[in-house]
Structure 1
Amino acid sequence: MFKELAYYDGKTGTPDEVMIPFNDRSHFFGDGVYEATAAGNHVPYLLDDHLDRFYSSANALDINIPMEKAELKKLLCDLVKQVEGNTHFVYWQVTRGVAPRGHVYGEGMMGKIWVYIRPSKIGDPETAVKLKTRPDLRFEYGNIKTLNLLPAVLYSEEASRDGVHETILHRNGIVTECAHSNVSIIKDGVLISHPNDQYILRGIAKTHMIQACYRLGIPVLEREYTVDELMDADEILVTSSSNFILFADTVDGKPAGNKDPKTRNRIKDELVKEYFAYTGRTTIND
C-alpha cells in the first residue's frame, strides 16, 4: 500500500519516484485539463460525473485522452485501492503530450495521463467558514477545468494569509464562483445559483446540491445574483467535490448568512446520505 500514489503514462510509484518528461507541454504552457474528487472506502465519489466533465473539458481544448472512459475509470478505481486510509483525495489530469516547446502543437498528438492520490479528510459541514470577496480577474474559460490555475493560486494564498476559507469572485458586482469552489445562496427558502456559463465551472457538487433541492421540494433559481444579494442572503453555501457543502457566517469580516439552518441542514443531510449510499461509508471522516 502507498501512503501517496503517483501515476504517469503507465508508471506508478510515490510522488518522488515518478518522473515527468521535461518536454511535457504542461511544463511550458499548463496545457491540459484535470478533475478531482473525494473517495470513501476506496470508491471515488461521483466518478462518472467527473469523467464526463473531464472528457468534455479535453474535447473543448482539442486534447486527445489516450484512454476510453471505461478504461480510465477502471484505472482510477484500481489505483485508489492501493493507497492507505479510508478517505482520499483523488486527482487526475491529461496534458496535451510531449514535444519540443512550441505554441503550435500539430494534429494527432496523444495526451499523457497523470494521477495523484493521497489520504485526505472532507470538510466538516457543521462548522461555519469565513469568506472574502474579490473582483474576478480570470480569463473567460471558466467553464473548462484547465491547468491554468495561477489566478486561483493567488486568490487562495491571499485568503489563507487573511485567515479565511475561500474567496468569492465577482464581475462588476455579479457573483461568479469561488477560487476553487462554487458558491450559492438561499433567500426566503429558495436556492439561487449562478447559471452554468463561460464564467464558472459546472460544479459536480453544485449540480448534486441542486438535484437534492429538487428531491426535497426546495425551489431553485439558476440566475445571476449580486454581491449585495450575497451579503443579504439567509445562507451562503460553498460546494466542491472534496468538501461537499460548507456554509459561511462571515464575508469580508462582516456577519453574513447562517440565518436558515433548517433549510441548509436539509440539503446537507441529503448530500451526506447520497455520499454514504454511493461509497458505503457511515461517517464522513474516521
Structure 2
Amino acid sequence: MEKVIFDGQLINRSEASVDIEDRGYQFGDGVYEVIRVYNGKMFTSKEHLQRLFESGKKIGMDIPYGLDEIKAMLEDLIQANNLTLGTVYLQVTRGVAPRNHMFPSSDVKPMFVAYTREVARPEENMMNGVKTISVEDIRWLLCDIKSLNLLGNLLAKQKAADAGCFEAIQHRNGTVTEGSLSNVSIVVDGVVKTHPANHLILNGISRQVMLKTCEKAGIPFAEKPYTLDELKNADEVFLTGTTVEVMPIIEVDGQRIGNGKPGEITKKLQELFKAEIEEQCGQLFIQQ
C-alpha cells in the first residue's frame, strides 16, 4: 500500500483527501520542492529544504516543522514506499480556512504533504540531446520563489510539447531567463554562461551543483544575462534540473546548436554532476 505524508503524518494514499478550502487548492498559496532519489537516498536534500524555508519566508508563511524533522519524515516515506530511483514531491500550503484573499489568522496551521514517484534517469536524452523552442516569459516577477503558481510554466511547456520539443526556453524581450522546468546555460569560447540568480529565475539546486563543479574543475563560468541570439549562436547549450541533471540542447526553434550534437564541455559537466550524485548516494548503474 503506497504511503504519503498528509498533514505531517505518514498514512495510506487512499486515506488522504484535500479540503476544498485548502488555500493551495484555491489560491496556489504555498510552496513546494522536488528532490531526486538515487539508490534510496535523497540528493542535495539540505539545499532543497533550505530553499523551501526561504520560499516560505518570502511569502510570509511559517513552516511548522524544522528542516531536520522534515528530512526525517521524507526518509521514512522513501523507506515505506521502497523507492530506489525517483523523486519526492513535497509542498506546504497556508492551510485550510474560509476563502478570503487576506491571510488567515495565525491559529490556522499550514498543511504539509509529500509523496514519492518512480522516475528513471533520462539517459537517452542526456546522451543525444533534446530539441527546444523559445517563448516569451509571461510569468510574474518573483520567480525566485518556488511557489505553487505555475500556470505560466505550464503554458510554456505545453507549447514545447505541441511543437514536438522537450522544453521551452523563456525570454523577456530577448533576454533568456530559464526553461519551463529547468535552468538554461550556454557555452561560448569555453566559458559557461547562465542567468544571474535574481528574481527573474529560480536558483535551481542542479544549477548550483553545476556551477560548483565548474569551479572545482576549473571550467570558466559567468553569471550574466545573455540574449536569445547569443543562445542560438552558442557553441553549446544545456539544461540543468532535478530530473534532467545536465541535459544537452541540440536545437532551438529549428536551428541547430553547434554541430547538432552534445558538446564536450556539456559532456564533461555530465560526468562531474554524476560524480556529485555518487558521492552522496552511491554508484549509479546504466539502466537496461
TM-score, length basis structure 1:
0.95
Q: Deviations over 1:85-126 (max 9, x none)?
A: 420111101001110100111442321101021111122221
1:283 aligns with 2:281: no
Given the alignment, which residue of 261, 267, 272 partners 2:269? 267
What secondary structure sits across from 2:89 in the alignment? strand
Q: Which amino acid aligns with 1:276?
A: E
CA distance in 1, matches of 2:212, 2:161: 31
CA distance in 1, matches of 2:100, 2:169: 35
When structure 1 is superposed on structure 2, of 241-250 and 257-266 the one drifting more is 257-266
Aligned length, in residue pairs: 284
Could you say which residue in structure 2 is the equivalent of 1:97?
A: 95
CA distance in 2, matches of 1:102, 1:168: 35
Q: Deviations over 1:7-62 (max 9, x none)?
A: 21034345443111222111110100000021011111100000110000000001
Runs (5+) with no aligned partner, structure 1: none
Q: Deviations over 1:225-250 (max 9, x none)?
A: 00000001111110001121100111
CA distance in 2, matches of 1:53, 1:10: 19
CA distance in 1, matches of 2:47, 2:89: 14
Could you say which residue in structure 1 is the equivalent of 2:122?
A: 123
Could you say which residue in structure 1 is the equivalent of 2:67?
A: 69
TM-aligned CA deviation for residue 251 of structure 1 = 0.7
What secondary structure sits across from 2:88 in the alignment? strand
8 Å Cα contact 1:84/1:119 also seen in 2: no
CA distance in 2, matches of 1:230, 1:206: 17
Q: Deviations over 1:187-227 (max 9, x none)?
A: 11000000011100000000110110011111111000000
Taking only the aligned residue pairs, the percentage that are identical comes to: 35
CA distance in 1, matches of 2:240, 2:13: 28
CA distance in 1, matches of 2:247, 2:262: 14
8 Å Cα contact 1:83/1:119 also seen in 2: no
What secondary structure sits across from 1:77 in the alignment? helix
CA distance in 2, matches of 1:16, 1:282: 33
Q: Deviations over 1:146-179 (max 9, x none)?
A: 0001111111122112111100000010000001
Could you say which residue in structure 2 is the equivalent of 1:231?
A: 232
Q: How does 1:12-91 map to 2 (within 5 A)?
A: 12-91=10-89
What secondary structure sits across from 1:139 in the alignment? coil
Indicate the RMSD between aligned Cα atoms, in angstroms. Answer: 1.6
Could you say which residue in structure 1 is the equivalent of 2:109?
A: 110
8 Å Cα contact 2:6/2:114 also seen in 1: yes
CA distance in 1, matches of 2:214, 2:223: 12
8 Å Cα contact 2:41/2:84 also seen in 1: no
CA distance in 2, matches of 1:241, 1:284: 18
CA distance in 1, matches of 2:220, 2:112: 40
8 Å Cα contact 1:87/1:285 also seen in 2: no
Could you say which residue in structure 2 is the equivalent of 1:245?
A: 246
CA distance in 1, matches of 2:199, 2:105: 26
CA distance in 2, matches of 1:193, 1:14: 42
Closer, same or farther: CA 201–78 of 1 in aligned 2, 3 Å: same
Could you say which residue in structure 2 is the equivalent of 1:153?
A: 154
Q: How does 1:186-205 map to 2 (within 5 A)?
A: 186-205=187-206
Could you say which residue in structure 2 is the equivalent of 1:137?
A: 138
CA distance in 2, matches of 1:75, 1:57: 20
Closer, same or farther: CA 252–16 of 1 in aligned 2, 3 Å: farther
Closer, same or farther: CA 52–163 of 1 in aligned 2, 3 Å: same
Q: Which amino acid aligns with 2:78?
A: V
Q: Which amino acid aligns with 1:161?
A: D
What secondary structure sits across from 1:248 in the alignment? strand
Q: Which amino acid aligns with 2:87?
A: F
TM-aligned CA deviation for residue 272 of structure 1 = 0.4
CA distance in 2, matches of 1:205, 1:51: 14
Runs (5+) with no aligned partner, structure 2: none
